[in-house]
Amino acid sequence: MKYVDEYRDAPALTELLAAVRRRATRRWTIMEICGGQTHGLLKWGIDEALADVVELLHGPGCPVCVTSAEAIDQAVALSLRPEVILTTFGDMLRVPGSKQSLADARAIGGTVRAVYSPLDALATAIAHPQREIVFLAVGFETTAPTTALAVRQAAQCNVKNFSLLTAHVRVEPAMEAILREPQNQVQAFLAAGHVCTVSGYQSYEELCRRHHVPIVVTGFEPLDLATGIAACIRQLEERRFEVENRYGRCVRPEGNVVAGQFVDAVYEPCDQVWRGLGTMPQGGLRLRDEWQTFDARHRFALGTSVTTDDDRCRSGAVLSGRIRPPQCPAFGKECTPEHPLGAPMVSAEGACAAYYRYHTPHPLTMIDACRETDR
């Protein structure tokens, strides 16, 4: 398949990994930001193939994992109101809130619908004018343009029964927070190609300069990932700290300017609570005042609350790369994909789910059996 097979060329991958091993004079610590990249690295065995020259830390770039319990609690409460149909991406249904998930809410009578896009949620609003349709809007810079578009279309079509419960997150403040940690170990980043497709990578130059880290933009196929790691190692060995684009088939320095303008017109950066990581300064997006009528928190007068995650779950340490999932005492015991304690075990992009799937010998569960079919 074009754009896939050429990036899964096994002999080329073997050769590239061997070149990385020859080039490295020591073991370097590299963090991949995106959960999709984490799954790729484990699925293709790149982490193990380079284990003696690269320590890979897994970053917080899984939007399902970092959505706060408070946002889930608010979505649950809305879904239980008789006038509301709560819509969101299917991945979000099993993410635990402080007491219930949206799947739990549906089991006790809440109205929750999985949709493929916020525009499907808008279509639901048009089809059900007597109900209030709320879309739980999660995701990084990749999904924010489509939720911004849905809001603008709702305004243009005068759809009054549509609103967003926003929990969008921004990747760059998270990278900055990780680099500022006194015990930070990250020496280079693999930046998420799909995020940079939207937002570009020019703003990373300042991060590289201030923190002396190379940032290499790359994709998700094995050759993309290995090429990104090779570029990081080359820079580290040469003591260079630059942004490098290794995903040129999708990413331009300035990103997708039109999508960026959509986002800027509808949203503004705000401080945001990330699950397990606390409040991230400027780490989220909220609707601008002029779009407040589409803000579910405003429309339904939702207050803020302090929520706590399950204290057995060490998702904060996993998402910031301080521990690997198997170091969590609950991993594979109380916490499995069928009975997750935390979001990183629920999400298709979660690091805990990745380790459970690719690095743990376990009997094939029902969920795994389903996933096997789409490998």
Q: Which residues bind ligand SF4 (CB under 6 A)?
A: 312-315, 318, 325, 328, 330-331, 335, 340-342, 344-345, 352
The continuous run of DSSP H or E covering 270 comes out as strand 267-274
- d(CA 183, CA 165) in angstroms, rounded, equals 35
- Angle (CA) 337-357-361 rounded to 5° is 105
Q: How far is the CB of 337 from ligand SF4 (least distance, A)?
A: 10
Closest CA to 38 of 183, 217, 225: 225
Q: How far is the CB of 64 from ligand SF4 (least distance, A)?
A: 11
Pick 35 or 193: Cβ nearer ligand SF4:
35
Pick 76 or 341: Cβ nearer ligand SF4:
341
Pick 49 or 335: Cβ nearer ligand SF4:
335
Pick 165 or 345: Cβ nearer ligand SF4:
345
Pick 247 or 331: Cβ nearer ligand SF4:
331
Count CB atoms within 10 A of the CB of residue 133. Answer: 26
Pick 159 or 328: Cβ nearer ligand SF4:
328
- d(CA 346, CA 94) in angstroms, rounded, equals 7
Closest residue to ligand SF4 using C-beta atoms: 342
- d(CA 314, CA 240) in angstroms, rounded, equals 34
Q: How far is the CB of 114 from ligand SF4 (least distance, A)?
A: 21
Question: Which token pair is 109?
Answer: 């009578």
Q: Say whether 244 sits in a helix, a strand or coil.
A: strand
- d(CA 183, CA 283) in angstroms, rounded, equals 21
Q: Do 121 and 147 contact (CB within 8 A), yes or no?
A: no
Q: How far is the CB of 12 from ligand SF4 (least distance, A)?
A: 34
Q: Do 334 and 359 contact (CB within 8 A), yes or no?
A: no
Pick 82 or 361: Cβ nearer ligand SF4:
361
Q: How far is the CB of 275 from ligand SF4 (least distance, A)?
A: 10
Q: How far is the CB of 338 from ligand SF4 (least distance, A)?
A: 12
Pick 148 or 345: Cβ nearer ligand SF4:
345
Question: Which token pair is 275?
Answer: 């699950």
- d(CA 310, CA 120) in angstroms, rounded, equals 33
- d(CA 150, CA 258) in angstroms, rounded, equals 15
SS3 content of the chain, % helix, strand, coil (to 5): 45, 20, 35
- d(CA 166, CA 184) in angstroms, rounded, equals 30
Q: How far is the CB of 309 from ligand SF4 (least distance, A)?
A: 8
Q: How far is the CB of 174 from ligand SF4 (least distance, A)?
A: 17
Pick 62 or 296: Cβ nearer ligand SF4:
62
Q: How far is the CB of 98 from ligand SF4 (least distance, A)?
A: 14
> DSSP code of 169?
B
Count CB atoms within 10 A of the CB of residue 7. Answer: 18
- d(CA 350, CA 34) in angstroms, rounded, equals 9
